[in-house]
Structure 1
Amino acid sequence: MTDQISAWMRTRTGWRLDDDRLRKTFRFPDFVQAVTFVNRVADAAEDMDHHPDIDIRYSAVHLSLWTHTAGGVTEKDLALAEAVDLAID
């Protein structure tokens, strides 16, 4: 899976692998836009039945993706990260 994650990360902007988790920070002009984005992420997560750790700090949203049962990043996390990137558009 490590090679797959490395290859995936070369095609993405802003994601980093840290402590066996995919992490990315998104910045917005204000709190309302940050929460709107989080709601889009929540919709995608519910659809996929795979939920990220989300930390909102006013206009910054920090996401952390990993599969608890696997103890690290899996294909589910990569798919959710792609959905998250689409939610930003």
Structure 2
Amino acid sequence: MTQRLDETQINRELAALPAWSRVGDEIQANFTAPDFIGALAFVNSIAALAEAAGHHPDIDIRYNVVSLALTTHDAKGLTHKDFALAKQIDIAAAGIVDAG
């Protein structure tokens, strides 16, 4: 099982991810695409990253807004897996969608 992060580790990781915020045992972010097709393309790029990492976000699409939530269920909280995937998602988002 992956080790759950403590508060200090979580705060340090979040400081490097300005688009993400903590809500309970999750980190969440919203990304805005130019249109619905752009939102779907962004989600498809996230799917490839998630599959490669073996770690999958909760995804909600509302027209051109993609809302993501990450947590590690087996650890019952946040782990390095969540922050590593969030960083990859931010890189994938650059130039495609707007964060926030």
Q: How high is the TM-score relative to the length of structure 2?
A: 0.86
Match of 2:93 in 1: 88
Of 75, 79, 82, which residue of structure 2 is paired with 1:74? 79
What are the Cα deviations for residues 40-63 of structure 1, in whole angstroms up to 9, with x where unaligned? 100000000000000000000000
Q: Distance in 2 between matches of 1:68 and 1:12?
A: 21
Q: Name the SS of the counterpart of 1:36 in structure 2.
A: helix
Match of 1:63 in 2: 68
Tell me the C-alpha RMSD between the 2 structures. 0.8
- Percentage identity across paired residues of the two chains: 44
Of 10, 20, 41, which residue of structure 1 is paired with 2:15? 10
Q: How high is the TM-score relative to the length of structure 1?
A: 0.96
Gaps spanning 5+ residues in structure 1: where? Answer: none
Of 59, 68, 90, which residue of structure 2 is paired with 1:54? 59
Of 26, 40, 44, which residue of structure 2 is paired with 1:21? 26
Aligned AA (1:49)? G
Give structure 1 regions of 4+ aligned residues with deviation exceeding 2 angstroms: none
Aligned length: 89
Q: Which has the higher contact order (CA 8 A, sep 6+)?
A: 2
